[in-house]
């Protein structure tokens, strides 16, 4: 089942929540929608789920038009599971009743025995067997999250829509749930559309990432492409945590402003060329004998490397250095390209 978004826009009064979103999502893909708060991710997901009408544009499933501005009641599609940011658990139903309610949907045609089996199976997968008769009010945040996930999965949906499902969890639980979701994707080959504002999560889990800002799609490409070949400064800064040097592009490289140093790199695309920005990741930089002059202000020990923040005339830039070489705050350094690139 291919999902096609054509020029989807959504306006609330005078505010544009979404502007001309175009995308094609193939069957079985894991797509992350990544962006800061308020960029329109949840609105887009709700339009894809059929709960909201776009103000302009159309939404197609395979070749069937399922939502547009003129369709009063968006077609309620049958086979999808949704995890809400607020979880939206039903306070009057136990965990088992949540799953049973979903499975009782008429289009599934399951017998009572089949439902029982499916429920037990799902409870086990989500480690909820010991909690199966509890009400949501009697569960911790992490347990509630697992229930929300179980409810979305239990009907074996062809498409899973998830709105920041792990944001409320602690780091440890988040990593184990992340693995669980990826396992589900492998097993069921469902299409998963996953909203997050955590770029690490998006990079780790997805086939392709849709980066959004202020209602517009900034880049929609594979995780590697979004990370190593950002299309514009926003994607560079948000996903790869690139440093952005300002200056001037010319034939052999990039002339850094307020400095006489030149980075020997090729210009990624015209956007950067016009803006006069050079994106370089912290791991692409090094402290050398010559380069952009600066002074170290902070050092953060990140385990595998040290992250230094260097204050230069232009601004502050971050550099990753191996832990074997130690520099101190206040030291004067020169930023240059790492030589093994």
Is 128 among the residues that bind another protein (CB under 8 A)? no
Q: Considering beta carbons, is residue 153 or 217 the nearer one to another protein?
A: 153
CA neighbor of 217 nearest in space, from 232, 201, 199, 198: 232
Residue 185 and residue 156 in contact, taking contact as beta carbons nearer than 8 Å: no
Is 214 among the residues that bind another protein (CB under 8 A)? no
**Pairing mode, strands 80-83 and 3-12:** unpaired
Beta strands in 145-207 (DSSP E): 159-163, 191-196
Q: How far apart are CA 299 and CA 29, in angstroms?
A: 39
Binding-site member from 118, 146, 151, 185 for another protein (CB under 8 A): 151
Which one of 87-95, 222-230, 239-247, 269-277 is the stretch in contact with another protein (CB under 8 A)?
A: 87-95
In the block, tokens 């230069």 appear at: 312
Is 86 among the residues that bind another protein (CB under 8 A)? yes
Binding-site member from 63, 70, 107, 251 for another protein (CB under 8 A): 107
Beta strands in 189-259 (DSSP E): 191-196, 208-213, 216-222, 243-249, 254-256
Is 194 among the residues that bind another protein (CB under 8 A)? no
Task: Output the six-digit token pair for 20.
Answer: 């001309």
Q: Considering beta carbons, is residue 136 or 240 the nearer one to another protein?
A: 136
Is 121 among the residues that bind another protein (CB under 8 A)? no
Beta partners for residue 335, in sequence order: 287, 292
What is the closest distance, in whole angstroms, from the C-beta atom of residue 137 to another protein in the complex? Answer: 3
Is 102 among the residues that bind another protein (CB under 8 A)? yes
Is 18 among the residues that bind another protein (CB under 8 A)? no
* φ, ψ (nearest 5 deg) of residue 20: 45, 65
* DSSP code at position 107: G
Is 141 among the residues that bind another protein (CB under 8 A)? no
Binding-site member from 25, 48, 82, 210 for another protein (CB under 8 A): 82
Binding-site member from 17, 47, 67, 80 for another protein (CB under 8 A): 80
Binding-site member from 5, 31, 48, 89 for another protein (CB under 8 A): 89
Instruction: Give the gyration radius of the chain's Cα atoms.
Output: 24
Binding-site member from 35, 81, 230, 268 for another protein (CB under 8 A): 81
Q: How far apart are CA 133 and CA 36, in angstroms?
A: 37
SS3 of residue 31 by DSSP: strand
Map the footprint of another protein across residues 242-281, applying CB under 8 A.
none
Is 73 among the residues that bind another protein (CB under 8 A)? yes
Is 298 among the residues that bind another protein (CB under 8 A)? no
In the block, tokens 């130690």 appear at: 326
Is 49 among the residues that bind another protein (CB under 8 A)? yes
Which one of 25-33, 81-89, 177-185, 307-315 is the stretch in contact with another protein (CB under 8 A)?
A: 81-89
Is 117 among the residues that bind another protein (CB under 8 A)? no
Which one of 2-10, 89-97, 116-124, 193-201 is the stretch in contact with another protein (CB under 8 A)?
A: 89-97
SS3 content of the chain, % helix, strand, coil (to 5): 30, 35, 35
Is 90 among the residues that bind another protein (CB under 8 A)? yes
Task: Output the six-digit token pair for 289.
Answer: 């004998």
Binding residues for another protein, rule CB under 8 A, total 32
Which value, to the nearest 10 degrees, does the dihedral of the CA atoms of residues 63, 69, 71, 77 take? Answer: 50
What is the closest distance, in whole angstroms, from the C-beta atom of residue 50 to another protein in the complex? Answer: 8
Is 88 among the residues that bind another protein (CB under 8 A)? yes
What is the closest distance, in whole angstroms, from the C-beta atom of residue 47 to another protein in the complex? Answer: 13
Residues ≥6 apart with Cβ < 8 Å to 160: 80, 81, 82, 83, 152, 153, 184, 190, 191, 192, 193
Task: Output the six-digit token pair for 258.
Answer: 């307020």
CA neighbor of 35 nearest in space, from 251, 194, 150, 149: 194
Binding site for another protein (CB under 8 A): 49, 51, 72-73, 76, 78-82, 84, 86, 88-93, 101-102, 104-108, 135-138, 151, 155, 161
């Amino acid at each position: 089942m291919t999902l096609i978004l054509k020029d989807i826009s959504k306006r609330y009064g005078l505010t544009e929540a979404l502007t001309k979103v175009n995308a094609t999502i193939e069957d079985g893909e894991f797509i992350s929608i990544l962006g800061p708060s308020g960029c329109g991710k949840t609105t887009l997901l709700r339009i894809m789920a059929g709960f909201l009408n776009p103000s302009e544009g159309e939404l197609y499933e395979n070749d069937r038009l399922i939502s547009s501005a003129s369709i009063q009641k968006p077609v309620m599609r049958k086979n999808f599971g949704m995890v809400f940011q607020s979880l939206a658990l039903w306070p009057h139903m136990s965990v088992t009743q949540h799953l049973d309610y979903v499975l009782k949907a008429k289009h599934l045609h399951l017998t009572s025995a089949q439902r029982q089996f499916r429920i037990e199976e799902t409870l086990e997968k989500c480690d909820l067997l010991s909690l199966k008769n509890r009400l949501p009010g009697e569960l911790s945040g992490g347990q509630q999250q697992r229930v929300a996930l179980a409810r979305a999965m239990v009907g074996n949906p062809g498409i899973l829509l998830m709105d920041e499902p792990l944001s409320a969890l602690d780091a440890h639980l988040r990593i184990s749930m992340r693995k669980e979701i990826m396992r589900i994707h492998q097993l069921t080959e469902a299409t998963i559309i996953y909203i997050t504002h955590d770029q690490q999560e998006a990079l780790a889990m997805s086939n392709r990432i849709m980066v959004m800002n202020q209602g517009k799609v900034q880049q929609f490409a594979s995780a590697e492409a979004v990370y190593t070949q950002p299309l514009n400064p926003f994607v560079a800064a948000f996903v790869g945590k690139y440093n952005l040097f300002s200056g001037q592009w010319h034939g052999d490289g990039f002339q850094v402003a307020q400095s006489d140093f030149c980075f020997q790199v090729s210009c990624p695309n015209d956007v950067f060329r016009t803006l006069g920005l050079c994106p370089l990741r912290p791991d692409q930089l090094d402290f050398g004998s010559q380069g952009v002059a600066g002074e170290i202000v902070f050092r953060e020990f990140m385990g595998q490397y040290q992250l230094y923040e260097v204050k230069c005339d232009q601004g502050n830039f971050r550099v990753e250095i191996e832990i074997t070489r130690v520099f101190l705050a206040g030291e004067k350094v020169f930023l240059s390209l790492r030589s093994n690139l």
